[in-house]
Structure 1
Amino acid sequence: MAKDTLKKYAPIVMAALLCACAIFIAVRSELLPITTGSRTPIHVTTAAVSTIHKPVTIIRAGSVKNAVTIPVNAEFAGSISDVFVTEKQSVKAGQPLFKLQAIPGAAGDTAANPSQAAQSNYVKALEEYNRYQALYELGGISRVQLENAKSRLQAVQGGSVGSKNSASATTTAENRTVTIESPIDGTVIGLTRAPGKMIQAGEQVMALGNGQAIEAVVRLEQSDLYGIQLSAPAAIEVASQTITGQVAAIYPAVEANQVSAFWVHIKFTSKAADTLKPGMSANIRISTGDSVTVPVIPTAAILQDNQGQTFIYIADNGKAVRQQVDIGETKGEFTEITSNVPAEVRVIKSNLDKIKQSYAIIDAS
């Protein structure tokens, strides 16, 4: 008989135990508020949801690489008549680097066939200008670089191109003097030629780099590139450290004869650790110079429960009401709220360790 009674009431007992456990968990999680009429209201201070201007930052995965150098070569055979820069000097795009004087009859000198040489120079300059124009429209180069390419095109577009007078063309080619300008912002490295030295067409005179052995590189899509400018500040998170930097150069990534993306090269502006090596992964943040308005609340008002959920307490008609929130970046005393929190609410920011869901409160703000 006792066994039959136990079997009869066992489901009821189990249901009662499960209900009690559920109520206990709900109370502990503040899903089921327990209040008493005798609880003394807790004095708290509150703050309104405010806004700040948040800088727009592009965050992408990149890496540390050996610094890229850009060779500066002689356009034709001749003599270097002037050098305007020195080793390790910083230069700006468009700044004169050296002056090249054509020498009649020099080996490799295009003056031997002036008409053909002039036409070849014009075609090269035109191709260069068209390429720079396309890159400028995509945001890949600065306006200065485009203007430099235009100037070079105009320089070779003069009397020698298409001239019917070969003697005139020869004179133009043989007496040609060209000032070579820097194509990028950079640092002069590997300066090997001095004034008066002879040089062949295509020989390297110097190279331009960022003056560092390594740099950070990140790949960006065209949509990202519109917000990036040369010299834009950046932060490189690598090897448990954050290094400041700035955008030094932007080059197109050409795949299947098309510009598929862009490589952004960042030089370090603060000292990097000697442990940094090419190939290391890095998290790179580049400032666009723009900003957006975002809602923020005091960081001190934000709590986290045992399940890792972030929440706040809102003052609502003399009671504390818990509301789950999603958060963004923290800037000093304020943290961005990325979930929907009404602008008119008051967020409790003090005595948070003494209140729970539906506790009576007095706003002393």
Structure 2
Amino acid sequence: MIIPIKMHTKYKILSISAALFITGLSLQGCHHADESQEKDTRFQVTDTLLNSLLTDTVKEASAVSQISLTGSIAPDETKMVKIFPLVSGVAQDVNVQLGDVVQKGQTLAIMKSAEMAAFTKDYVSSEADIRNTKRIYESTQDLYKSGLASQKDLEQAQSDYQKAQAEGKRANAVVSINKSNANGYEVKTPLSGYVVEKNLTSNTQVRADNSQNLFTIADLSTVYVLVNVYESDISKIQTGDPVKVTTLSYPDKTFEGKIDRIDNMLDPDNKVMHARIKIVNPGNLLKPGMFANIQIKAKSGETLPEISSSTLVFDNNKNYVIVVDGKAKVHIQPVEVAKTVEDRAYISKGLKPGDRVIASRQVYMYESLKD
């Protein structure tokens, strides 16, 4: 069949238009397919994902402040004794040195003392007097029963015997307190611990009326940390506040304790208030005189929402958390941190008590959600 030129031209145009339309539909279909594929590959939060993550519930808590102070280690006064001489004499054998460990009852030094000889003489004489007056008292009793001694004689004999007994007890007490052996007067320790002070050497002349002690023995199983508290920090601390202590000698070891005492007066020279911290000293590592750094967790009196500091995400000089809205719903929440103390963060803006935040893989979720 022969088609006219005009008809042929028109048919050709329609064919081309139809082809372009079909091509357009194909391209549009491809475009929608790409969008669908792109949408499917975007990050989505599912119940399964949420259930696999840890969450932290925001709590309302009294905010604490961390105060840094310095101090020094000192012996526990309730477990420390100062040893004074009870007699005069000359030191012969000093058996311990400063820092030595001693046991209760151990001899620290021997002294030659004329006074000890007199004490021994008194004790021996008192024992002899007791035996003599007892014999006389018993004989007088027999004579009184036979009518050969008067009531007065019996009472006198009884009185002499009682006096001799009293003197014997005194002499025995003196000898017991002032321990001695064949070598002389023994200076013993009544406490197990460390020799933290020593003021005696061999051949030193010692007087009983001297105000200086010979030795100081301290049990270091517990020690004190003496702290100077500045006026600006006085209102922030109180007895019972938990404390962490570190020293130059053991920089990687932390000792924990509590404030045991706070003085009620300022030091007039340094304008500081003294506080005392009691610390258990395992292995007697802490020694008197050591320098100490003290971290005190003190209550600030302010109540703020509290979360674990590990839940925070820091980006572009701001802090964020991932808040759980409900089932399979989360969002990025900017927050303002009032203060961070150890592993706890106190939030001034952005969260309220009861909110739940993601506490694991939160950085991954933050990067996925912010795109």
Q: Normalising to structure 1: TM-score of the pair?
A: 0.39
Q: Which entry has the higher C-alpha Rg, 1 or 2?
A: 2
Q: Normalising to structure 2: TM-score of the pair?
A: 0.38
Identify the structure with the greater helix proportion: 2
